């Protein structure tokens, strides 16, 4: 397996292996020096969240990534994944929505953290654009990125969407690594992006708790209704495939729900849904493990995954008639 230093070794001012290892470690491990609890709504919590986001920044540069040459089979596997248009556009939209929301809030700490998050989304878009260019992946034209009319709604949609996508992407990524269908250099290149999404949803979960705790109590019911609305919108959005036509008149079908349904494209390992859910849960725990346990983690998608595992167990039990109630009947 190539090390990070090998990947950057073509650069005249390539950072040393030690530097890369330190930066990578610091992006994954962070604890607040503040003693005692970090309660959402307090200055201590808010400052810790902003500091975590600053201190764990990974300064990799998309423009220097040396994309590995791929054999025809791997190249075909990568270029035919139904995700590239939607992935590039999602990062572009995320940058715009996060920047718009950051511009709207007054608190300097949260403004700083959210602006940095917007910048990192743009860097993800750059990484993807470089990959698309390197492997000549045909793309549909990008739609214009329009400032959202309802900035808070757009930020909530992006934030919750990242919580769902990142959770499943963690599992798929681990699966792809185990299956060995993609070259290790590519896996290594996307590893910091994956960890960055973990930091993003850590920020979102703590922003959400801070926002809830610091808003006037009379605004809270309307806000909670909006949160429910966002989840309904996301469920609806993920039921469909997006279709678009490129400059050559070719139709592009993009899977809005690839992170949930993409296991078959990422691996030749036969994996059942409950096993995949367990892998996502394990990877989710592993990626969050290095961050201060007093900071909140996203909970809804892991809870859905646990419910699916439990449901599958009960269903398996009913089918094999191993339930005491069923066998007694």
Residues in contact with Fe ion by CB under 5 A are: 91, 121, 124, 162, 197, 200
State which residue, 70 or 131, has the beta carbon closest to Fe ion.
Answer: 131
CB of 35 to Fe ion, least distance (A): 31
State which residue, 109 or 165, has the beta carbon closest to Fe ion.
Answer: 165
State which residue, 124 or 238, has the beta carbon closest to Fe ion.
Answer: 124
Spatial distance between the Cα atoms of 123 and 34, rounded to a whole number of angstroms = 31
Spatial distance between the Cα atoms of 90 and 96, rounded to a whole number of angstroms = 10
Q: 291: helix, coil or strand? A: strand
CB of 89 to Fe ion, least distance (A): 12
CB of 213 to Fe ion, least distance (A): 23
State which residue, 74 or 151, has the beta carbon closest to Fe ion.
Answer: 151
Q: 289 φ, ψ to 5°?
A: -60, -30
CB of 102 to Fe ion, least distance (A): 13
Closest CA to 126 of 61, 212, 215: 61
Contacts of 136 (CB under 8 A, 6+ apart): 79
Q: Would you call 152 exposed, middle or buried from its count of C-beta atoms within 10 A (0-12, 13-18, 19+)? A: middle
CB of 158 to Fe ion, least distance (A): 8
Q: 295: helix, coil or strand? A: coil
State which residue, 109 or 197, has the beta carbon closest to Fe ion.
Answer: 197
CB of 45 to Fe ion, least distance (A): 21
Specify whether the CB–CB gap between 284 and 304 falls below 8 A: no
CB of 81 to Fe ion, least distance (A): 17
Residue 207, beta-bridge partner list: none
State which residue, 121 or 255, has the beta carbon closest to Fe ion.
Answer: 121
State which residue, 61 or 264, has the beta carbon closest to Fe ion.
Answer: 61
CA angle (136 as vertex; 130, 140 as ends), nearest 5: 90
Task: Write down the residue that tokens 């070794």 correspond to.
Answer: 9
| Alpha helices per DSSP H over 180-219 | 184-214
Q: 275: helix, coil or strand? A: helix
Spatial distance between the Cα atoms of 7 and 5, rounded to a whole number of angstroms = 5
CB of 90 to Fe ion, least distance (A): 7
State which residue, 41 or 148, has the beta carbon closest to Fe ion.
Answer: 148
What would the DSSP string read from start to end of 44-88? HHHHHHHHHHHHT-----GGG--PPP--HHHHHHHHTSTTHHHHH
């Amino acid at each position: 397996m190539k090390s990070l230093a090998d990947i950057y070794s073509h650069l005249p001012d390539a950072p040393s292996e030690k530097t890369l290892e330190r930066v990578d470690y610091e992006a994954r491990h962070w604890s607040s020096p503040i003693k005692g609890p970090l309660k959402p709504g307090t200055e201590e919590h808010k400052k810790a969240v902003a500091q975590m986001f600053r201190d764990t920044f990974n300064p990799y540069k998309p423009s220097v990534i040396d994309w590995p040459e791929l054999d025809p089979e791997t190249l075909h596997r990568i270029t035919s994944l139904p995700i590239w248009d939607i992935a590039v556009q999602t990062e572009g939209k995320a940058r715009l929505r996060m920047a718009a929301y950051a511009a709207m809030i007054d608190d300097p700490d949260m403004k700083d953290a959210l602006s940095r998050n917007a910048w990192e989304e743009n860097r993800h878009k750059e990484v993807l654009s470089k990959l698309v260019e390197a492997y000549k992946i045909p793309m549909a034209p990008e739609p214009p990125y329009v400032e959202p009319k309802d900035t808070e709604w757009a930020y909530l949609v992006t934030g919750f969407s990242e919580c769902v996508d990142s959770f499943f992407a963690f599992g798929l990524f681990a699966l792809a690594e185990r299956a060995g269908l993609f070259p290790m250099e590519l896996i290594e290149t996307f590893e910091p992006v994956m960890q960055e999404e973990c930091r993003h949803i850590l920020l979102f979960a703590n922003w959400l708790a801070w926002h809830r705790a610091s808003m006037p109590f009379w605004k809270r019911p309307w806000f909670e209704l909006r949160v429910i609305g966002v989840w309904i919108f996301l469920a609806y959005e993920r039921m469909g495939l997006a279709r678009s036509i490129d400059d050559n008149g070719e139709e592009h079908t993009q899977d809005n729900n690839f992170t949930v349904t993409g296991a078959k494209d990422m691996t030749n390992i036969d994996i059942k849904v409950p096993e995949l859910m367990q892998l996502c849960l394990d990877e989710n725990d592993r990626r969050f493990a290095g961050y201060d346990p007093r900071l909140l983690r996203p909970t809804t998608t892991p809870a859905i995954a646990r419910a699916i595992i439990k449901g599958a167990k009960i269903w398996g039990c009913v089918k094999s008639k191993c339930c005491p109630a069923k066998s007694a009947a």
